[in-house]
A = this chain, B = another copy of it.
Amino acid sequence: MRIGILTISDRASSGVYEDKSGPAIRACLQEMLTCEWQPHYLVIPDEQEQIEATLKAMADDEGCCLIVTTGGTGPAKRDVTPEATAAVCEKMLPGFGELMRAVSLRSVPTAILSRQTAGIRGKTLIVNLPGKPAAIRECLLAVMPAIPYCLDLIGGPYLTTNDQVVKAFRPKT
């Protein structure tokens, strides 16, 4: 089982600073998931074409069942992660962005500036997370309970979670 971790940042990708968000996602997933999984981790600049190509490669070639992005979801000119995500997805899941904004709003009123979203490409779920490590964990904790069942529905692998941290929910059908 492979999970894509994609840091989207001009400065991190050019080496101006060290990426802390990608490793923070990896640490969160290690804490939350009990199944075996392999990270596929990349750091790229805020270029829409490159983001789209990377998301496609992670989904179609690398076979990632889940891709988690960080960065590029704000209102600034170079922030194009949501546009790139929408461009490669067949279906958008607005509930992810709504919930993550609502959760972040308890901490910071600027949460409404985040345009983060989620969507489905084939058998892959793509989720945009915020750029800051503290906000990353908060948002992942909010949406993780729904992710294993989402992967079940789109034909992905069977994810299991550490119930001490976050509990996967699978409705009885």
Contact = CB atoms under 8 A, between A and B. Distances in A.
A91 interface: yes
Given A105-B99, A154-B75, A154-B76, A112 B93 contact: yes
Interface in A61-94: 74-77, 79, 83, 91-94
Interface stretch (A19-27, A35-43, A50-58, A144-152): A144-152
A153 B109 CA distance: 15
A99 B79 contact: no
B95 A112 contact: yes
This protein's copies in its complex: 3
B169 A109 contact: yes
A150 B94 contact: no
A113 interface: yes
A113 B94 contact: no
25 contacts: A74-B153, A75-B93, A75-B153, A76-B153, A77-B155, A91-B115, A93-B112, A93-B113, A93-B115, A94-B94, A94-B97, A94-B98, A95-B101, A95-B113, A98-B98, A98-B101, A98-B112, A99-B101, A99-B105, A99-B112, A108-B169, A108-B171, A109-B169, A110-B146, A113-B146
Interface of A: 74-77, 79, 83, 91-99, 101-102, 105, 108-115, 120, 125, 132, 143, 145-146, 149-150, 153-155, 169-171
